[in-house]
């Protein structure tokens, strides 16, 4: 009998190919559906196609070399190991898309991208959450913001309320540098609204006038200039 004729499919190698293929499917899915922005910033989004290609190549290569001369059954330990490797893929694909919300606000640092803070001096267009986050961290950026006190501003973010100030609402946005694990926050206090009308994690577009006060930023608005919006396609800001 020739060597080729006696080669047989290795269960263990096929299972490994499937586990790696699952990761390839995850990265392709993120790429195709645009869900990358739920996990990574635009500056690291290139990792997704790279991961898709490498995992796909690895899976196909493993499959192409899965015929062996020796028996390689899939033993218990290997099966559970490969299952554990596949589990995060199953979770990420099966869970409905979600973003960080109010729960994480108290556990995150305030955004402090000094590059943005420094460039705030040159901002001539509309102010945004990144400028505000920088102003809350850097005196120079705050001084810049103070020169624009009273200017109109339109912000999109989610509602978070403080237990210590139930009669006010905070509008919050996460700023992500590489991945959501490094998210920091930018926040403004909205005055002029009835907090009871708005729930935690509700996304709003608020138009008002900006007023830096100390290290805080207030936005004076009224209910006529506030509207509920769906979660944006880019829920995290990426400076």
Partner 1 sequence: MATRTHTHERLPTPTTETPDRTWLVVVASLVAVAVAARFAHPTQAAWLRNLFIVFGSLLIEAMPFVALGALVSALIEVFVPASTFAKLATLPRAVQLPAAAMAGIAFPVCECGSVPVARRLARKGLAPAAAVTFMLAAPIVNPVVIASTFVAYRGRDSLWVMVIGRFTIGMLVAICVGWVIGARTPGELLRGASVDDEPDDHDEPRARRFFTHLTGDLIFMARFLIVGALIAATIQTFIPSSVVDHVATLPILSLLAMMALAFILSLCSESDAFVAASFTSFGPSAQLAFLVFGPMVDLKLGALYLGTYSKGFLRTVVIVVTAVTLVATLWVQVVWG
Q: Which of residues 173-192 bind partner 1 (CB under 8 A)?
A: 177-182, 184
Question: CA distances (Å), 193 to each of 31, 104, 135, in order?
Answer: 39, 24, 24
Q: Which is closer to partner 1, CB of 19 or CB of 193?
A: 19
Q: 73: Cβ–Cβ under 8 A, 6 or more apart, which residues?
A: 11, 12
Q: Which of residues 50-69 bind partner 1 (CB under 8 A)?
A: 50-51, 54-55, 58, 61-62, 64-65, 68-69
Q: Does 229 bind partner 1 (CB under 8 A)?
A: no
Q: How far is the CB of 21 from partner 1 (least distance, A)?
A: 11
Which residues are registered as beta bridge partners of 110? Answer: 185
Q: How far is the CB of 209 from partner 1 (least distance, A)?
A: 27
Q: Does 115 bind partner 1 (CB under 8 A)?
A: yes
Which one of 72-80, 160-168, 188-196, 225-233 is the stretch in contact with partner 1 (CB under 8 A)?
Answer: 72-80
Q: Which is closer to partner 1, CB of 184 or CB of 209?
A: 184
Q: How far is the CB of 179 from partner 1 (least distance, A)?
A: 4
Q: Which is closer to partner 1, CB of 151 or CB of 215?
A: 215
Q: Coil, helix or strand for 114?
A: helix
Which residues are registered as beta bridge partners of 175? Answer: 184, 237
Q: Which residues of 72-90 are buried (b: 16+ CB within 10 A; e: fewer)?
A: beeeeebeeebeeebeebe
Q: Which region, left, alpha or beta, applies to residue 150 given φ > 0 means left and ψ of -120 to 50 means alpha?
A: left
Q: Coil, helix or strand for 218?
A: strand
Q: Does 99 bind partner 1 (CB under 8 A)?
A: yes
From CA 142, how far away is CA 217, in angstroms rounded?
9
Total of chain residues touching partner 1, rule CB under 8 A: 87
Q: Does 169 bind partner 1 (CB under 8 A)?
A: no
Give the DSSP H/E element, type plus range, for residue 117: helix 114-119
Q: Which is closer to partner 1, CB of 140 or CB of 229?
A: 140
């Amino acid at each position: 009998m020739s060597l080729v004729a006696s080669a047989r499919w290795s269960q263990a190698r096929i299972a490994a190919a499937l586990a790696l293929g699952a990761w390839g499917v995850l990265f392709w899915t993120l790429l195709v559906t645009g869900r990358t922005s739920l996990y990574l910033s635009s500056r690291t989004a290139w990792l997704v196609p790279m991961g898709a290609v490498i995992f796909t190549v690895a899976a196909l290569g493993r499959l192409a070399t899965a015929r062996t001369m020796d028996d390689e059954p899939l033993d218990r330990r290997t099966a559970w190991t490969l299952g554990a490797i596949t589990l995060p893929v199953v979770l990420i694909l099966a869970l409905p898309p979600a973003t960080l919300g109010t729960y994480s606000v108290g556990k995150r640092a305030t955004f402090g991208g000094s590059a943005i803070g420094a460039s705030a001096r040159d901002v001539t267009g509309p102010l945004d959450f990144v400028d505000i986050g920088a102003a809350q961290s850097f005196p120079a950026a705050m001084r810049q913001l103070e020169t624009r006190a009273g200017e109109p501003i339109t912000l999109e973010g989610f509602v978070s309320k403080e237990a210590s100030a139930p009669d006010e609402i905070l509008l919050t946005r996460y700023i992500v540098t590489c991945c959501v694990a490094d998210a920091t926050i930018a926040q403004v206090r909205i005055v002029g609204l009835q907090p009871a009308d708005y729930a935690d994690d509700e996304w709003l577009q608020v138009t008002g006038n900006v007023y830096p006060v100390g290290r805080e930023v207030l936005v004076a608005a009224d209910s006529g200039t506030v509207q509920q919006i769906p979660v944006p396609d880019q829920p995290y800001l990426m400076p």
